[in-house]
Amino acid sequence: MIKRIGILTSGGDCAGLNAVLRAVVLHAVSNKGWEVIGLHQGTAGLMARPVSAERLDPYTMTTVLLRQGGTVLGTTNRGDPFAFPMADGHTVDRSEEVIEGYRLLGLDAVIGIGGDGSFQILRRLAQQGGLNLVGIPKTIDNDLGLTEISVGHDTAVQVATEALDRLQPTAASHDRVMILEVMGRDAGHIALSAGIAGGADVILVPEIPYRMERVAAKIDDIKRQGRNFALVVVAEAVPTEAGDTVTRVHVGGKATYGGIGHHVSERLAALTGAETRVTVLGHLQRGAPPDARDRVIAQAFGVHAVDLIAAGKFDRMVAWQNRRVIDVPILEAIERNQVVDPDGTLVHTARGLGISFGD
């Protein structure tokens, strides 16, 4: 019999996490009569002593949370408990401490809101410690399998589209080629959707190999047809023509993508003589208030996750397919990672509109 559940956000934040949280608390507390404990900073809250967590009550779950980006619980995309980084640089296995944290709180189940990396860790913890886990997919990259959409993706696309809306007038005013670098770790979904929505001339995604001469030819074509500006969207995971990914290393040694836009800009300027400028959209895609679709998906997922726990169905991830919420094995969602299909509808649409992929 379920009495108390935990909920945590893990991995990179995105828009819609607080809306999930609110939905879970409203349904679990008001309709099921359970207690909901919010766990701080992903699994780090369960590792801390005393455990870092708070009871979440429906009256604190105001509609402000629906509109608020980020996660009020905090999150982390460092600190894998199976290889936890210590101050002196070595790593230790602290998984048993996380499992003990779950027991100390007297949890009967835990909802993990995460992407593929987080789910791998949470499943391992669940298997090792016998934890009852339900997953809710969130990732601006939208690369989890078996769900058409994950929380946060739609808002990221919206932000990138709005960036193109703002770049177009200044590009036209100055006769420039504007390059917009968007996020998407190893998947070009944000670039593809925003590029179509925002009227890009070129979209570069890691799934479709390109040649810079082809991109330059497209820019020259546009000029010949009498248009004085162009918009190019490039996904951060696109490699250089030499096949190198462009990354930056941060404090703690973590590398993230970033900088391919500048490479594209320099090469295009050299090949076409066009004046180019680069905008790297970065974390603006993550911190925005959730758009309407993300709020709807987030809340549908939250309610279904509670229903799954009530039904005793664990190791399942809620998913969106064919206009409804269903649930699938977490493992399959991780294994069936979805990148852009070069033969898929959206690539076909873009080509039909004359958008170049540089191939």
Residue 356, Cβ neighbours under 10 Å: how many? 22
Among candidate residues 10, 115, 15, 66, the one with its CA nearest the CA of residue 299: 66
Q: Cβ of residue 135: shortest distance to ligand F6P, in angstroms? A: 16
Q: Cβ of residue 237: shortest distance to ligand F6P, in angstroms? A: 7
Stretch that binds ligand F6P, among 135-143, 163-171, 197-205, 269-277 (CB under 6 A): 135-143
Residues 6+ apart with CB under 8 A from 218: 201, 202, 230, 356, 358
**Does residue 286 belong to the site contacting ligand F6P (CB under 6 A)?**
yes
Which listed residue (52, 60, 77, 228) binds ligand F6P by CB under 6 A? 77
Q: CA–CA separation, 311 vs 2, rounded Å?
A: 10
Binding string, residues 169-208; x marks residues near ligand F6P by CB under 6 A? --------------xxx-----------------------
Which listed residue (141, 181, 207, 327) binds ligand F6P by CB under 6 A? 141
Residues 6+ apart with CB under 8 A from 321: 146, 147, 148
Handedness of CA 193, 330, 48, 310 (dihedral sign): positive
Q: CA–CA separation, 313 vs 298, rounded Å?
A: 20
Q: How many residues bind ligand F6P (CB under 6 A)?
A: 12
Q: Cβ of residue 294: shortest distance to ligand F6P, in angstroms? A: 15
Q: CA–CA separation, 167 vs 150, rounded Å?
A: 27
Q: Is 141 a catalytic residue?
A: yes
Of 101 and 184, nearer to ligand F6P (C-beta) is 184
Q: CA–CA separation, 136 vs 119, rounded Å?
A: 9
Q: Cβ of residue 42: shortest distance to ligand F6P, in angstroms? A: 13
**Does residue 140 belong to the site contacting ligand F6P (CB under 6 A)?**
yes
Binding string, residues 211-250; x marks residues near ligand F6P by CB under 6 A? -------------------------x--------------
Among candidate residues 33, 31, 11, 7, the one with its CA nearest the CA of residue 21: 7
Binding string, residues 1-40; x marks residues near ligand F6P by CB under 6 A? -----------x----------------------------
Which listed residue (256, 267, 279, 289) binds ligand F6P by CB under 6 A? 256
**Does residue 60 belong to the site contacting ligand F6P (CB under 6 A)?**
no
Of 81 and 184, nearer to ligand F6P (C-beta) is 184
Handedness of CA 120, 124, 130, 131 (dihedral sign): negative
CA 174 to chain centre: 34
CB-CB contact of 57 with 22 (8 Å): no
**Does residue 42 belong to the site contacting ligand F6P (CB under 6 A)?**
no
Q: Residues with catalytic annotation?
A: 141
Binding site for ligand F6P (CB under 6 A): 12, 77, 139-141, 183-185, 236, 256-257, 286
